[in-house]
Each structure stands twice: as C-alpha cells, then as structure tokens.
Structure 1
Amino acid sequence: MRPNLDAGLTRELAAVAVAVPATTISMWALRGWTEPDGTERRLTVVGKDERGRRLYRYGDLLDAERATGSNPNSRRGTTRSSRPAAIMEAA
C-alpha cells in the first residue's frame, strides 16, 4: 500500500512523520527551502482541521525533509552522522 502524499497533516503530526522538530515545519512554511536544482520552495497550507490548525501536504513535507537533510549548507545537514570525521572529532 502506498502512502497518500496528498494527505494534510498538522504541524505536530508532520514533525513526527518526517522526524524533525515542529519548529522546523514552521520555518519551512515561513522561509522555505532550496531544492537541489536551485528552485526555492515553501510549504503551503492545504486546509485547516476541525480545530483551525493548518494542514500541510505530506508529499511536500517529504520533499522538504529530503532537500534539507541532504543539503550541506543546511544546519540539518551538518547534524547528521554523515559529517566529515574532523567535524565529528571536534564536536
């Protein structure tokens, strides 16, 4: 079974789904991110839930996580275990 990439997730559920802090979801919506091809993107609100909380598209969340997690200029990119050994030893 394939996941529904058009599903709308609240900020808190989105954070759990892509394993980032909820504040990162807010930053992707506010400031956006850069795709590997140089395209600037930003999370858009696809609706609101019954409590009025914004919903973000699951597929867009996965795109943001993939682009920022593999970007060497991203703070997230430097916190992963793929950091160069010299950085790992200094930390």
Structure 2
Amino acid sequence: MSAETETLDELVLTLRKPVEHGGMTYTQLTLKEPTAAQWNEWDGKKGVDADITAISVIAGVPSQAVAKIGARDIITASRFIARFLE
C-alpha cells in the first residue's frame, strides 16, 4: 500500500512498489503546485502522456522512471496535480 502525506500545497507519495531506473531507486514522489513554466511542458499532451510528463516535471524524476510507476500511484499523483489546474 502507498502512504501519503498531504498538505494543501504538497503531496509526498510513497510508491506501492519502488521503481528502478538509471541506477536509481525511486520510493517516493514529492509533488507541489506547478509553475506556469512547468505546466507549459505538458500543455497540449493528452491522457497518460500528459500525466507522466506532469509528474516527471514536478517531482524531478525522469519520465522513463515515472512510466514504470503503477497505475494507482499515477492516478493519485495526477489527481493531486489536477486540483491546481481546475
């Protein structure tokens, strides 16, 4: 199970399964409100591609690593980010 620590401005999401990429092991994502410049990096993308890019940009994790994260954690992270864009 994942663990979450959330404030109004930040979500620390402990991944259900750690992800390895490029010699690094990722166990958590720290997400915050995106800046306009960050938002611009995934603007125009759709669906899962937009989610992967958004999470990668905000958490500072390579998109190839984010693509390996389980769907439930991706959904949790993308819903948190979406709250700032409504």
Larger radius of gyration: 1
Question: TM-score with structure 2 length normalisation?
Answer: 0.31
